[in-house]
């Protein structure tokens, strides 16, 4: 069968999600033919994942009827024929609803196919002296074979109609011994790793992903982000995404000599290690940022605003953001005034109301609360929807308020009078105290996260739900 020359580079979706068949332009003359087997710029523009291949393998097959597979490896593959012709069969062996789906096609040098991690690959040569090539995005090692998933070439449920009967074909003893589909353990997806899993956001993420075996949680006891050994000891090939919910957030303590060192170690040095891993392993990194990267001089803060941090904490968060911004696959989720499980402003005000204490609360800092439950939901939305990478502001919605106004809401929900809260300026509140400078306006523009399809709850609704009370009277 002659090679078809001068095809247009074209992608064809198949019956297996992520498996894409490509027509390749082959240019021939009296001397033979030439093709661009892999051309990153053109193929990525066509929609092929930029899977960053690192190794090229060639399988030479002397006789027609040579059959190999069905092997699902823990990496992605871009497969083509260098010479000859093959009948290819691919079976989805990934954990999920398409487990067992089959796609077959004949390939000559004018075609190629992209096979994602976990999809079983097999072929049968239709001509003598056929060379089958693999471009893969991980280095083969002997211990990697323990991560393979196999299926028998003759599996009845797959029902592959091999052109040359397997009884007449050339098979290895290993391939003959592979299990039937009913005995195959599906290849699980790569995991999401949540760091800082014992903090306010980390606990919210635990609740959100409860029961999901593909999400792994690590608190400081399991993964100390300030320890270089913690990074080198983990096999990062098992992960697709890292959510960094770990940070040093003691704003006032960060202004001390000891606190400054700890803040930089957690918020900058650790983030730089994460960024290095993310780039090397092609991971998605979700990093949580803060309104403290701004000085609060604007009425509303957009994602592209230049950093103007006032204190050490804000400076370390801005430095961390700058590092994460260079990672190809990243989400920077910028929040303000986080409220979750554990000690926080709302819990303190609720406790004061219950004890009949009438506090003085700052009334010239304006912003919106960001409930950890909603931040977690927003992060999951970005990941699940495959939103464009970049920075997203994420707080709760609604009319911006001062801390004093929020305290008044808490008191009212607790059955106390709003008048029990006295408003004071930031300068008055911190007079005579060692305190870090605060931005006076922390209102974040939520337009971008809303355009991605996520609608943050109004802060007032989230507050009443958090305190388990009825709606505030309008």
Confidence of residue 184 (pLDDT cuts 50, 70, 90): very high
Q: What is the CATH number of the domain that holds 32?
A: 2.60.120.10
Backbone angles phi, psi at 46, to 5 degrees: -80, -10
For residue 470, what pLDDT is reported? 38
Under the banding of pLDDT at 50, 70 and 90, the label for residue 198 is very high
| Per-residue pLDDT at 6 | 78
pTM of the model: 0.89
Reply yes or no on whether the pLDDT at 139 is more than 90: no
Strands 338-339 and 330-335: unpaired
The whole-angstrom distance between residue 295's C-alpha and the CA centroid of its chain comes to 30
pLDDT reading at 295 higher than 90: yes
Q: Is residue 382 part of a domain?
A: yes
Q: For residues 125 and 214, state if they share a domain.
A: no
Q: 445 and 417 share a domain?
A: yes
Q: Which residue has the higher pLDDT, 278 or 33?
A: 278
Q: What CATH number is given to the structural domain containing 319? A: 3.40.50.720
pLDDT of res. 145: 62
**Mean per-residue pLDDT for 345-360?**
95
Q: Is residue 423 part of a domain?
A: yes
In a shared domain, residues 166 and 196: no
Residue 473, pLDDT score: 36
474 pLDDT exceeds 70?
no
User: How much of the chain exceeds pLDDT 70, in percent?
Assistant: 97
Q: Is 133 a domain residue?
A: yes
- Indicate which residues carry an active-site annotation: 71, 134
CB 445 within 8 A of CB 377: no
Where is the domain boundary, 183, 205, 230?
Answer: 183
Number of separate domains in the chain: 2
Is there a domain that residue 473 lies in? Answer: no
State residue 436's pLDDT score.
94
The pairing of beta strand 191-195 with beta strand 239-244 = parallel
Segment 452-469, tens digit of pLDDT: 999 999 999 999 999 984
Residues 226 and 310 placed together within one structural domain of the fold: yes
In a domain, 215, yes or no: yes
Token code pair at residue 436: 């870090």
pLDDT level of residue 338 (50, 70, 90 thresholds): very high
pLDDT value, residue 394: 98
Instruction: Give domain status of residue 198, yes or no.
Output: yes
Q: Which of 153, 183, 213 is the last residue of a domain?
A: 183
Q: What is the mean pLDDT of residues 28-35?
A: 84
The reply to whether 436 and 328 lie within a common domain is: yes
Residues 378, 288, single domain; the answer is yes
Q: Do 97 and 199 have their domain in common? A: no
What's the chain's average pLDDT? 94
The confidence score (pLDDT) of residue 4 equals 79
Instruction: Provide the 10 A C-beta neighbour count for residue 116.
Output: 19
Q: Which residues contact 256 (CB under 8 A, 6 or more apart)?
A: none
pLDDT over 80 at 144, yes or no: no
- Considering the domain architecture, whether residues 358 and 312 belong to the same structural domain is answered as yes
**Cα–Cα distance, 267 to 272 (Å, whole number):** 9
Residues 92 and 205 in one domain: no
More confident residue, 155 or 343: 155
Residue 424 forms part of a structural domain: yes
- The answer, yes or no, to whether the previous bond of 356 is cis (omega within 30 of 0) is no
228 & 313 share domain: yes
Residue 144 sits in the same domain as residue 93: yes
Is 155 a residue whose pLDDT tops 90? yes
The whole-number pLDDT of residue 221 equals 94
Res 432: pLDDT? 87
> Domain limits at 175?
10-183
Residue 5 covered by a domain: no
359 in the same domain as 212: yes
Is residue 472 pLDDT above 50, yes or no?
A: no
Tell me how far apart the alpha carbons of residues 392 and 388 are, in angstroms, rounded to a whole number. Answer: 10
pLDDT of residue 1: 56
Average pLDDT over every residue of 378-390 = 97
Domain boundary among 126, 151, 183: 183
């Amino acid at each position: 069968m002659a090679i078809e020359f001068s095809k247009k580079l074209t992608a064809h979706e198949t019956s297996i999600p992520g498996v894409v068949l490509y027509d390749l332009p082959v240019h021939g003359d009296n001397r033979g033919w030439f093709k661009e087997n892999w051309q990153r710029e053109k193929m990525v523009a066509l929609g092929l994942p930029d899977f960053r291949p690192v190794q090229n393998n060639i399988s030479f097959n002397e006789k027609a009827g040579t059959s190999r597979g069905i092997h699902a490896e823990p990496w992605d593959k871009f497969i083509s024929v260098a010479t000859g012709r093959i009948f290819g069969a691919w079976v989805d062996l990934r954990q999920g609803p398409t487990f067992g789906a089959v796609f077959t096609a004949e390939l000559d040098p004018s075609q190629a196919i992209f096979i994602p991690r976990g999809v079983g690959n097999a072929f049968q040569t239709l001509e003598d002296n056929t060379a089958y090539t693999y471009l893969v995005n991980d280095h083969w090692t002997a211990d990697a074979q323990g991560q393979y998933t196999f299926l028998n070439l003759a599996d009845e449920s797959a029902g592959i109609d091999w052109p040359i009967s397997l009884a007449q074909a050339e098979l290895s003893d290993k391939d003959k011994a592979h299990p039937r589909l009913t005995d195959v353990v599906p290849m699980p997806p790569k995991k999401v790793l949540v760091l800082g899993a014992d903090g306010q956001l980390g606990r919210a993420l635990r609740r959100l992903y409860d029961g999901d075996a593909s999400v792994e949680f690590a608190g400081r006891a399991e993964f100390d982000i300030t320890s270089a050994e913690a990074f080198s000891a983990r096999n990062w090939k098992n992960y697709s995404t890292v959510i960094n919910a770990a940070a040093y957030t003691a704003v006032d303590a960060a202004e001390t000599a000891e606190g400054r060192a700890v803040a930089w170690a957690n918020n900058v040095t650790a983030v730089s290690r994460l960024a290095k891993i993310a780039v090397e392993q092609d991971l998605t990194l979700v990093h949580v940022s803060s309104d403290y990267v701004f000085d609060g001089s604007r009425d509303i803060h957009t994602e592209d605003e230049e950093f103007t941090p006032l204190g050490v904490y804000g400076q370390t968060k801005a430095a961390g953001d700058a590092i994460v911004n260079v990672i190809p696959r990243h989400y920077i989720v910028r929040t303000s005034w986080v409220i979750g499980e554990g000690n926080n402003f709302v819990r303190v005000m609720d406790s004061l109301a219950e004890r009949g204490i009438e506090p003085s609360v700052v009334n010239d800092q304006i912003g919106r609360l960001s409930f950890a439950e909603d931040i977690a939901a927003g992060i999951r939305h970005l990941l699940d929807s495959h939103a464009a990478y970049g920075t997203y502001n994420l707080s709760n919605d609604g009319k911006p308020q001062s801390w004093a106004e929020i305290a008044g809401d808490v008191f009212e929900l607790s059955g106390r009078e709003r008048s029990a809260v006295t408003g004071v300026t930031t300068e008055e509140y911190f007079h005579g105290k060692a305190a870090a400078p605060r931005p006076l306006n922390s209102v974040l523009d939520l337009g971008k996260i809303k355009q991605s399809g996520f609608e943050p709850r109004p802060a007032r609704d989230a507050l009443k739900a958090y305190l388990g009370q009825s709606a505030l009277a309008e």
